[in-house]
C-alpha cells in the first residue's frame, strides 16, 4: 500500500505561524489594555476630598531677612501633619503700598515633616508690612489642585 502524503509547504506554514502569533499578540494587548484602563479608573484620586480630608498642616515662625533694602526673603516653617504629601505652595499677598504679589513655591513636604519654606519679595514695590495667604498644593491622578479652603494667613513686618 502506497501512501500519498501531502504536507503544507514551509512557506505557507511560516505565514500561518506568523499570522497566528499576530492574532494572539493583538488579543493579549487588547485584554491587557482593558485591564489597565479599569485599574486607572479605580485609582482616580478625588483631589477635592484629599484637600478636605487628608491635608493638614500648620505654619509658624514667619521671618523676613536679607541685607538688600528692596529685596527680602520671607520664610516660615510648615509642619505637614496630614496623610498626603504637600506638593508646593502658592502665596498670595499684599503690602502697605496696596500692591499685591503672588509666588509659586514648588517645594514638597512629606507627611510628618517640618521644613522651612521661603520666597523673595520686592519690598520697594509692595511695602514692608506684608499680609499673605499660604495655599497648599496637592497632586493626584495627573492633576494639580490648590487647596484654597486650607489657606492659612500670615503677617510680617520687614525691616
Would you say residue 130 lies in a domain?
A: yes
How many structural domains is the chain composed of?
A: 2
Question: Which DSSP state fits 109?
Answer: B
Q: In the prediction, which pLDDT does 32 show?
A: 75
User: How many other CB atoms are found less than 10 A from the CB of residue 101?
Assistant: 18
Residues 23 and 74 in one domain: no
Residues 107 and 135 in one domain: yes
pTM: 0.69
CATH of the domain at 124: 2.60.40.10
CA 122 from chain center: how many Å? 28
Does pLDDT of 24 surpass 60? yes
Would you say residue 2 lies in a domain?
A: no
Does pLDDT of 42 surpass 60? no
More confident residue, 38 or 65: 65
Residues 79 and 146 in one domain: yes
> Which residues span the domain enclosing 137?
47-157
User: Any idea which of 5-19, 32-46, 97-111, 115-129 has the lowest mean pLDDT?
Assistant: 32-46
98 grid coordinates: 496696596
Amino acid at each position: 500500500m502506497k501512501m500519498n502524503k501531502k504536507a503544507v509547504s514551509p512557506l505557507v506554514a511560516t505565514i500561518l505561524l506568523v499570522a497566528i502569533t499576530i492574532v494572539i499578540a493583538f488579543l493579549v494587548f487588547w485584554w491587557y489594555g482593558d485591564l489597565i484602563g479599569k485599574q486607572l479608573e479605580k485609582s482616580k484620586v478625588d483631589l477635592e476630598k484629599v484637600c478636605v480630608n487628608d491635608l493638614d498642616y500648620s505654619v509658624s515662625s514667619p521671618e523676613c531677612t536679607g541685607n538688600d533694602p528692596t529685596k527680602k526673603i520671607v520664610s516660615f516653617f510648615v509642619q505637614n501633619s496630614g496623610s498626603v504629601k504637600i506638593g508646593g505652595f502658592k502665596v498670595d499677598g499684599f503690602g502697605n503700598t496696596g500692591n499685591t504679589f503672588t509666588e509659586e513655591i514648588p517645594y514638597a513636604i512629606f507627611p510628618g515633616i517640618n521644613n522651612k519654606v521661603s520666597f523673595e519679595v520686592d519690598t520697594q514695590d509692595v511695602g514692608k508690612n506684608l499680609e499673605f495667604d499660604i495655599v497648599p498644593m496637592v497632586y493626584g491622578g495627573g492633576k494639580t489642585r490648590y487647596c484654597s479652603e486650607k489657606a492659612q494667613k500670615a503677617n510680617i513686618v520687614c525691616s
